[in-house]
Amino acid sequence: VFRLANELVGYGEVGLSINQAVDTFINPSYVDTILKLKQNVRSDVVFTIEITERGECKSFRTLSKTIKTLSEHGIRVALDDFGTANSSLAVLNELEIAELKIDRSFMAFPSESAKTSKAIISSIVMIAKKLGINVVAEGVETKPQFDYLYEIGCDVLQGFYIAVPITYESFKEYL
């Protein structure tokens, strides 16, 4: 992944995201390992680690310290699948995160639950904006979803409506 990111020279800022289980962040050697990996990436690559909620965080204090250290070294930290499992508003108060990724399960509209889904999504976006946190909506698959998320100021939209997954070779051809 790092090699591929380094090959994308001349295309402006490149984002590189990797998913890590929350319990990985409390490993004592984690920060050193990530910082060594980052040394192999061009300086214009925006490096983001997405915290997934697989596993259990046994030390919230260590998690917070790890995120702070990574942020100090220019590594962005995102909360993946926000709104599901153990994520709560308390997490936003305690952790220095750069990005929230709203779980695709909230993208159920248009449907009977559209009013509830839209209220939850718009509230998440509003809170994140007030905290200076970027918001990514996952699972955008229809024009009504796209239009609504754009209208409420969601920063990034991901899903089949935007683009289907492609290979690296196809991506290079697309550029």
Catalytic residues: 138
Give the CA dihedral 69, 45, 35, 167, nearest 10 degrees. Answer: 120
CB neighbourhood size of 34 (10 A) = 20
**Nearest of 155, 83, 86, 66 to residue 123 by alpha carbon:** 83
Please work out, in degrees rounded to the nearest 5, the angle formed at the alpha carbon of residue 103 by the alpha carbons of 100 and 131.
20
Return d(Cα 154, Cα 151) in angstroms, integer: 8
